C-alpha cells in the first residue's frame, strides 16, 4: 500500500509570518484605536464597552476546527508520478479529499506559532473550510483514516499554540485600552471644564434621628453620563458611586429591621412598606433644590430627581414569580434615561423557600435581553447588574437587586415560585 500526497510548498500552513510580529502590530493598534475615537462618542459610551470594542479590534480569532462536521468527498481517480529505475512513470491512483469546516479568521493559518516544527502541516484553505487530500495506490480505510487524523491533530496542536500566544496579547490589551481610554476621557472632560458644572450635593437634614444616620454625613457628588455621540457632549447629573452605596446600605438596614421585627410589618402592602424607606432616607439626606430629596412617584417608586432627570429610582416589589421581576425591571428601565443612572429593586419574599426564590430571581434576570454585565455578588441576597437602556445600549443603568424574607400573613397564601 502506498500513500502519497500531491501538494506544493504553497500548501504549507503556519509558515508565512511570525505570530510575534503580528501581535506586536495589534498591540500598537490599541493606541491608534483610542486616539481616533470621536470625542463625543468616547464620552457617550461606557468604558467597559469601549474596552471590549478596542479588544475586538486588536486581537485574532484563532480558528477552531469543527471536526464533528468533517466529511469526505467521493473518491476520485487520478495518477501519481513514480520513479521506475530512473524512468518517470504515471501510475493510476485514488484521491480522497477531507472537508473540515472551521470558525475564526482563516489568515491565522498563515502565522507561525511561537513554538513550531520545521515541517509544518499541509492543507488547502478556501472560505471557511480546510481541505486535506490523501492520494495513493491501493489505499485502505485504516491507513487513510489514520493519516487524516494525524494531520488534523498536527494542525490542532499549532492552533492551540497560537491560541495561547493570542491569549497573552489579550491579557495586555484590555488593561492598556482601559488606561488609554480613561486618560483621554480625563483630558476631554478637563477641556470642557466639567468640574465646575457638576455639583449636586446631598447635605444632612438637621433634627431627624434614625437608626441609619451616619456619624459623618457627606455630600453627594455627581458625574456626567454622556449624551448621544452625534450631539456635543453635555454634562448631565448622575449619582456618585459612593453615595449610591450609602443609599443602598440605608435601604438594606431598614429592610433588615423589617426582618428582625417581622410582626410589626407582616400585614403591610407594597406601598406601605415603601413609605418605611422614605422616612430614614429623607432623614439622612437633603437635596440641593427640593425639600425632600427622596420622593414617592406612582405606587412603588422611591426616587431622586435633579434637573428634571431621575438619577436614582428604587422599586419595591413582592415576589410573585419570575414575571413580577421582569415587569419591575422593565418599569425601571422605562424610568431611567441617562447612562450611569443608579437603580435598586427591593424584593420582598413571603414564600417558605427563600433559597429557591433567590435562584429563580437570578435566572430571570440573567435571561433579560437588556442585561449587559453581572451579577456582582455583594451579599447572599444582594446582586449588582449593569443594564443597557432599551433605546440606546450605550447608555448604562446600574441596578442592584436586594431581596428580603418577610413572614407570610396568616390570611395570605405563599406566592408562586
Tens of pLDDT, residues 108-159: 999 999 988 888 899 999 999 999 998 888 888 888 999 999 999 999 999 9
Q: What is the DSSP string of 171-198?
A: HHHHHHHHHHHHHHHHHHHHHTT-GGG-
Q: CB within 8 A of 283, min separation 6: which ones?
A: 205, 208, 209, 210, 212, 213
Q: What pLDDT score was predicted for residue 199?
A: 46
Query: Diameter of the chain by CA atoms?
Result: 111
Q: What pLDDT score was predicted for residue 47?
A: 86
Q: Is the pLDDT of residue 214 over 70?
A: no
Using pLDDT thresholds of 50, 70 and 90, give the confidence band for residue 299. Answer: low
Q: Quick: pLDDT tens for 156-201.
A: 999 999 999 999 999 999 999 999 999 998 888 777 654 444 445 5
What residue ranges do the domains of the chain occupy? Answer: 2-188, 194-405
Using pLDDT thresholds of 50, 70 and 90, give the confidence band for residue 216. Answer: very low
pTM given for the model: 0.56
Percent of the chain scoring above 90 in pLDDT = 34
Question: What's the whole-number average pLDDT of the chain?
Answer: 79
Q: What pLDDT score was predicted for residue 291?
A: 46
Using pLDDT thresholds of 50, 70 and 90, give the confidence band for residue 74. Answer: confident
Residue 358, C-alpha cell as written in the block: 433567590
Q: Is the pLDDT of residue 218 over 60?
A: no
Sheet containing 309-318: order of strands:
295-297, 301-306, 309-318, 341-349, 392-405, 382-389, 371-379
User: In degrees, to the nearest 5, what angle opens at C-alpha 205 toward C-alphas 400 and 212?
Assistant: 45
Cα-flanking dihedrals φ and ψ of residue 399, to 5°?
-120, 120
Q: Quick: pLDDT tens for 236-258.
A: 666 778 888 888 888 888 887 87
Q: What pLDDT score was predicted for residue 294?
A: 62
Average pLDDT over every residue of 408-413:
58
Average pLDDT over every residue of 82-98:
82
Using pLDDT thresholds of 50, 70 and 90, give the confidence band for residue 225. Answer: very low
Residue 202, C-alpha cell as written in the block: 446631598
Q: What pLDDT score was predicted for residue 255?
A: 80
Amino acid at each position: 500500500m502506498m500513500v502519497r500526497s500531491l501538494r506544493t510548498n504553497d500548501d504549507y500552513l503556519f509558515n508565512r509570518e511570525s505570530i510575534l510580529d503580528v501581535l506586536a502590530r495589534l498591540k500598537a493598534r490599541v493606541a491608534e484605536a483610542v486616539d481616533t475615537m470621536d470625542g463625543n462618542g468616547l464620552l457617550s459610551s461606557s468604558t467597559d464597552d469601549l474596552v471590549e470594542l478596542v479588544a475586538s479590534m486588536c486581537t485574532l480569532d484563532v480558528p477552531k476546527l469543527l471536526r464533528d462536521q468533517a466529511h469526505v468527498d467521493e473518491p476520485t481517480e487520478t495518477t501519481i508520478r513514480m520513479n521506475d529505475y530512473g524512468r518517470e512513470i504515471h501510475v493510476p491512483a485514488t484521491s480522497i479529499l477531507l472537508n473540515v469546516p472551521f470558525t475564526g479568521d482563516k489568515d491565522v493559518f498563515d502565522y507561525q506559532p511561537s513554538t513550531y516544527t520545521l515541517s509544518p502541516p499541509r492543507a488547502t484553505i478556501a472560505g471557511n473550510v480546510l481541505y486535506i487530500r490523501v492520494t495513493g495506490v491501493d489505499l485502505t480505510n485504516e491507513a487513510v483514516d489514520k493519516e487524516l487524523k494525524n494531520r488534523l491533530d498536527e494542525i490542532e496542536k499549532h492552533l492551540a499554540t497560537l491560541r495561547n500566544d493570542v491569549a497573552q496579547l489579550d491579557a495586555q490589551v484590555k488593561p492598556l485600552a482601559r488606561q488609554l481610554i480613561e486618560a483621554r476621557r480625563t483630558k476631554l472632560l478637563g477641556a470642557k471644564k466639567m468640574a465646575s458644572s457638576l455639583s449636586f450635593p446631598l447635605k444632612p437634614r438637621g433634627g431627624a434621628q434614625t437608626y441609619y444616620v451616619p456619624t459623618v454625613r457627606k455630600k453627594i457628588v455627581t458625574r456626567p453620563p454622556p449624551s448621544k455621540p452625534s450631539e456635543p457632549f453635555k454634562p448631565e447629573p448622575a449619582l456618585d458611586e459612593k453615595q449610591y452605596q450609602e443609599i443602598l446600605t440605608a435601604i438594606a438596614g431598614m429592610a433588615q429591621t423589617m426582618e428582625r421585627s417581622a410582626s410589626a410589618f407582616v400585614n403591610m402592602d407594597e406601598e406601605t412598606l415603601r413609605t418605611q424607606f422614605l422616612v430614614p432616607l429623607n432623614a439622612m439626606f437633603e437635596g440641593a433644590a427640593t425639600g425632600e430629596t427622596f420622593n414617592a412617584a406612582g405606587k412603588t417608586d422611591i426616587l431622586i430627581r435633579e434637573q428634571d432627570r431621575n438619577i436614582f429610582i428604587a422599586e419595591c416589589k413582592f415576589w410573585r414569580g419570575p414575571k413580577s421581576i421582569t415587569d419591575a425591571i422593565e418599569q425601571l428601565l422605562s424610568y431611567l434615561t441617562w447612562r450611569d443612572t443608579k437603580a435598586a429593586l427591593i424584593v420582598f419574599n413571603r414564600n417558605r423557600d427563600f433559597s429557591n426564590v433567590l435562584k429563580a430571581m437570578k435566572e430571570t434576570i440573567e435571561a433579560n435581553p437588556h442585561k449587559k454585565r453581572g451579577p456582582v455578588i455583594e451579599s447572599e441576597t444582594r446582586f449588582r447588574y449593569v443594564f443597557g437602556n432599551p433605546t440606546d445600549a450605550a447608555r448604562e443603568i446600574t441596578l442592584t437587586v436586594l431581596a428580603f424574607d418577610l413572614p407570610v400573613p396568616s390570611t395570605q397564601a405563599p406566592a408562586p415560585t
